[in-house]
Structure 1
């Protein structure tokens, strides 16, 4: 009689992670000519990971809200193991340029991002990690920002950024997402992490954000 043992099939390998990113020109990689942080983050999670980067330059929160209602985008969301949302800077930058009421704009950012995350969760249909990212500045920063706005203007830009980030943090709390402040990835003087326009991250800046996201996992 033959005794057979240890013939069970090996467990299948887990599916590689899929990172879906929604947002504006920062996650889109504008002005960098480099690999943007969503792709870097996905690769840190696994060399087999997929990055579906849907971020678009110029997008405000309402643009992202409309985007997540599209059929093809909903299919991408359903495939996600992590969803990254980074939007709100362009809303607040418009208020900064027009010297508008920051609290009113922040309320729009908060309600719209809450709606975006709620839509992502509803469409996904099962628990999914959603990361809402804040900003180091919603407009130019570092040496370029100081040259453009002067000390008083740069201080006002920091105020506008605080309103934006507070709104994003509250939106994450309301919707059960995780809020991460990307300013922790930048030095007190972020010049060395910014592209020549002073507004978007350079390659080192994108690497810093990706590393921050990976460290959070």
Structure 2
């Protein structure tokens, strides 16, 4: 019995030592090491972080990148977007892309981000819509971690690392020089990450180090790019729905989004076009994406042919799959230009801007008509709530912490009871509402006389709305004087289709109102 206890005790000690060594060295990067990134960030000038320290912990690393800087623009997608980085002196860009990412991982990543105004460049891969493609596991469970720290393969690699870099037993990493760059790493510090989340190839740091191999071209779909196109018989409806959830989340948060797909080399383009398996799906993908993004008010840029960027074939570092920094930044320039053309529009108010068809007997309310008249890509967030009065709209805004957009339309007050004189609560509520709108252009519409109230009170009410709007730097559309009874819907409360068109026209013809 004593021998059994000694044997079991010895075995447990050895297993604990093995697990501790593999956890400490972490040869395959299974554990997130925030201290290494913090050390790189604290260095002056800042260092890069070796890929061996990040390993497979892409998600926590990318979220740390986003949160550690005042991010306003970010890109996410597969390894083919990882060379897209910040412009010189730019501190508000982040690259959240990951190797072997999928729509499900993109959705998980975006849900972890704060709901503040952002511009997102979403790199969508055609092979994402292959039902047989599987993304990387970004959240390994306890069982997988336990198998890892107790595995023989991890121990063998830990031993090799310790032989190459004995200091790892006491210090898990140190600052190294690779070419002219500082890299926080250890035995293989060449392939590295910038602190904006973009990736640096080894040969960019030192021409004598690792260069990505030229992928051998094959028409065998089981081998081509590790089989990501194999057995592709349809565009996965589930993956399309996941992409729609991504776009719906972005629209709900008021984000600008520009979608794109990275380029492929000429020989791959010819093969994809001619392949009886990939070809039909390749063309269907090209037709679907602009429609899908357009449905949410977003732009789509098809970069599948590198000439459209434009990039020469020599800009592929591995024969036709990954582009170099020069081509990636040309894509970034095109994306920046597309994002600048895109507007975000928020609407606030009651059932009139909400424009439910059964009430207005119209196909589109004035908010949608106004957006169309702009003749630019517009992301519309109609936050109007049927039945809401000014106090309830104010409560909604306070709960959301205000709203951020390029433009805002406000029409509220019909449900304030009794109708309010200029010094009443409507005036105070509207002033507070406008204080919570952060937009360059704010336009307010006053209310019309539907024949149910005291005309004198309605006139006073209309004047009060425009006075408050002007005092807050917003423009006011005088719907009160332009509206006639024939513009009412059958319920004699809401505007009909012609009435909605009138309100849209009055708002559209106002001069821009600039706000901070």
TM-score by length of 2: 0.32
Q: How far is the alpha carbon of 1:208 from its aligned partner?
A: 1.3
Q: Within 5 Å, which residues of 2 pair with 1:66-215?
A: 66-71=395-400, 74=402, 77-78=403-404, 80-91=405-416, 94-95=417-418, 102-103=420-421, 107-120=424-437, 124=438, 128-137=440-449, 140-141=450-451, 157-186=454-483, 190-215=484-509
Q: For 1:45 and 1:38, how far apart are their aligned partners in 2?
A: 11
Q: For 1:129 and 1:47, how far apart are their aligned partners in 2?
A: 15
TM-score by length of 1: 0.72
Equivalent position of 1:32 in the other structure = 360
The answer to whether the Cα contact below 8 Å between 1:21 and 1:83 also exists between their aligned partners in 2 is yes
The answer to whether the Cα contact below 8 Å between 2:475 and 2:510 also exists between their aligned partners in 1 is no
Q: For 2:379 and 2:365, how far apart are their aligned partners in 1?
A: 13
Q: How far is the alpha carbon of 1:195 from its aligned partner?
A: 0.4
Gaps of 5+ in 1: 1-6, 97-101, 146-155
SS in 2 for 1:165: helix
The answer to whether the Cα contact below 8 Å between 1:107 and 1:167 also exists between their aligned partners in 2 is no
The answer to whether the Cα contact below 8 Å between 1:89 and 1:164 also exists between their aligned partners in 2 is no
Q: Which has the larger radius of gyration?
A: 2
Shift in alpha-carbon separation, 1:177–1:47, aligned structure 2, 3 A = closer
Deviates more, 1:41-50 or 1:177-186: 177-186
SS in 1 for 2:360: coil
SS in 2 for 1:163: helix
More RCO (CA 8 Å, sep 6+): 1
Q: For 1:192 and 1:48, how far apart are their aligned partners in 2?
A: 33
Calculate the aligned-residue CA RMSD, in Å.
2.4
SS in 2 for 1:206: helix
Equivalent position of 1:4 in the other structure = none
SS in 2 for 1:52: strand
Shift in alpha-carbon separation, 1:185–1:46, aligned structure 2, 3 A = farther
Q: For 1:185 and 1:166, how far apart are their aligned partners in 2?
A: 14
Q: For 1:48 and 1:173, how far apart are their aligned partners in 2?
A: 28
Q: For 1:82 and 1:18, how far apart are their aligned partners in 2?
A: 6
Q: For 1:19 and 1:116, how far apart are their aligned partners in 2?
A: 16
The answer to whether the Cα contact below 8 Å between 1:65 and 1:115 also exists between their aligned partners in 2 is yes
Equivalent position of 1:22 in the other structure = 348
Q: For 1:19 and 1:70, how far apart are their aligned partners in 2?
A: 19
Q: How many residues align?
A: 176
Residue from 388, 402, 409 that aligns with 1:59: 388
Q: For 2:377 and 2:361, how far apart are their aligned partners in 1?
A: 23
Q: For 1:176 and 1:166, how far apart are their aligned partners in 2?
A: 16
The structure in which a higher percent of residues are helix is 1
Gaps of 5+ in 2: 1-310, 312-329, 512-516
Q: For 1:111 and 1:47, how far apart are their aligned partners in 2?
A: 34
1:43 aligns with 2:372: yes
Q: Deviations over 1:154-189 (max 9, x none)?
A: xx5321211211221221133222222113442xxx
Equivalent position of 1:148 in the other structure = none
Equivalent position of 2:510 in the other structure = 216
Q: How far is the alpha carbon of 1:33 from its aligned partner?
A: 3.7
Equivalent position of 2:104 in the other structure = none
The answer to whether the Cα contact below 8 Å between 2:421 and 2:464 also exists between their aligned partners in 1 is no
Q: Deviations over 1:108-128 (max 9, x none)?
A: 1111101110111xxx3xx51
